[in-house]
Chains A and B, each alone.
Chain A
Amino acid sequence: MTSPTDERPTDERSAGRPVPARRADDRPVLAARDVTVHFPTKGGAVHALDGVSLALHRGRTHAVVGESGSGKSTLARTLALVQQPTAGTVELHGAPVEAARRRRQRREFAATVQLVLQDPFSSLNPLHPVRYLLSRPLLLHRPKMPAEQLETEMLQLLERVALVPARRFLDARPHELSGGQRQRVAIARALAVRPDVILGDELISMLDVSLRLEVLNLLATLRDEEGLAMLYITHDIATARYFADEITVLYAGEVVETGSGEDVTQTPAHPYTRLLVESSPDPSPESLAAGPGGDGERPRADAVAAEPPDLISPPSGCRFHPRCPLARPRCAEASPPSVEVDDGHRARCWALTDDEQYQRGSAA
Chain B
Amino acid sequence: MSPTTAPAAAGTATTEAPVLLDVRGLRVDYGQPGDPLLAVRDVDLQIRRGEVLGIAGESGSGKTTLITALLRLQRPPARTTAGTALLHPRPGQDGPPVDLLTASRRELRALRWERLSVVFQSAMNALNPVHRLESQFIDTLAAHRRMSRTDARAHAHHLLELVGIPASRARSYPHELSGGMRQRATIALALACEPDLVVMDEPTTAVDVVMQRQILAQVQRLQAEFGFAIVFITHDFSLLLEIADRLAIMYGGRIVETGTPAELAGDPRHHYTAGLRDSFPPLRGPLVPLRGIPGSPPDLRTAGIGCSFADRCAGAQEDCRSTVPPLFVEGSRAHACLHPVGTPAPSSPGGRP
Interface residues, chain A, with chain B CB atoms under 8 Å away: 12-13, 15-16, 67-68, 178-181, 208-214, 217, 235, 237-239, 241-243, 265-266, 275-289, 291-294, 300-304, 306-308
Contact = CB atoms under 8 A, between A and B. Distances in A.
Contact of A281 (B210, B242, B266, B347): B242
Contact of B238 (A208, A283, A300): A283
Nearest to B262: A288
Contacts of A67: 208-210
B315 interface: no
User: Chain A interface secondary structure, helix, strand, loop or mixed?
Assistant: helix
A64 B294 CA distance: 26
Given A213-B279, A280-B283, A288-B351, A302 B242 contact: no
A288 B265 CA distance: 10
B266 to A, nearest CB: 8
A31 to B, nearest CB: 27
Interface of B: 1-5, 58-60, 164, 178, 180-181, 208-214, 217-218, 235-239, 241-242, 261-262, 265-266, 275-277, 279-297, 347-351
Given A239-B281, A288-B351, A302-B3, A214 B291 contact: yes
Contacts of A288: 241-242, 261-262, 265, 349-351
Sort A-B residue pairs by CB-CB distance and give the 9 closest, nearest first. Answer: A213-B292, A291-B2, A284-B282, A302-B217, A289-B350, A242-B281, A210-B293, A283-B238, A288-B349
B285 A279 contact: no
B119 to A, nearest CB: 17
Given A181-B296, A289-B350, A294-B2, A208 B235 contact: yes
Contacts of B284: 265-266, 282, 284, 286-287
Contacts of B262: 288
Given A67-B208, A279-B210, A280-B283, A211 B2 contact: no
The dominant DSSP class at the B interface is: loop
A282 B282 contact: yes
Given A12-B288, A15-B288, A285-B347, A291 B58 contact: no
Contacts of A281: 209, 236, 238-239, 241-242
Contacts of B242: 281, 288
A238 B265 CA distance: 17
Which of A15, A67, A212, A288 gathers the greatest number of chain B CB atoms within 10 Å?
Answer: A288
Given A12-B288, A209-B280, A302-B3, A285 B349 contact: yes
A241 B5 contact: no
A293 B242 CA distance: 13
Nearest to A266: B284
A212 B214 CA distance: 26
A283 B247 CA distance: 14
B293 A276 contact: no
A240 to B, nearest CB: 9
A53 B291 CA distance: 33
Contacts of A283: 237-238, 241, 265, 277, 280, 282, 349
Contacts of B285: 284-287
A287 to B, nearest CB: 5
A235 B208 contact: yes
Nearest to B272: A210
A238 B284 CA distance: 9
19 contacts: A178-B297, A179-B59, A208-B297, A209-B279, A212-B279, A213-B279, A214-B292, A235-B209, A241-B283, A280-B283, A283-B277, A285-B265, A285-B348, A287-B284, A288-B261, A292-B2, A302-B214, A302-B218, A306-B213
A184 to B, nearest CB: 11
A210 B295 CA distance: 9
A280 B242 CA distance: 11
Nearest to A236: B209
A237 B283 CA distance: 8
A195 to B, nearest CB: 25
A309 to B, nearest CB: 11
Contacts of A214: 291-292, 294
Contacts of B210: 67, 275-276, 279, 301, 304, 306
Which of A235, A243, A291, A303 gathers most chain B CB within 10 Å?
A291
B213 A279 contact: yes
B4 A301 contact: yes
B289 A210 contact: no
A208 B287 contact: no
Contacts of A303: 3
Contacts of A280: 209, 283
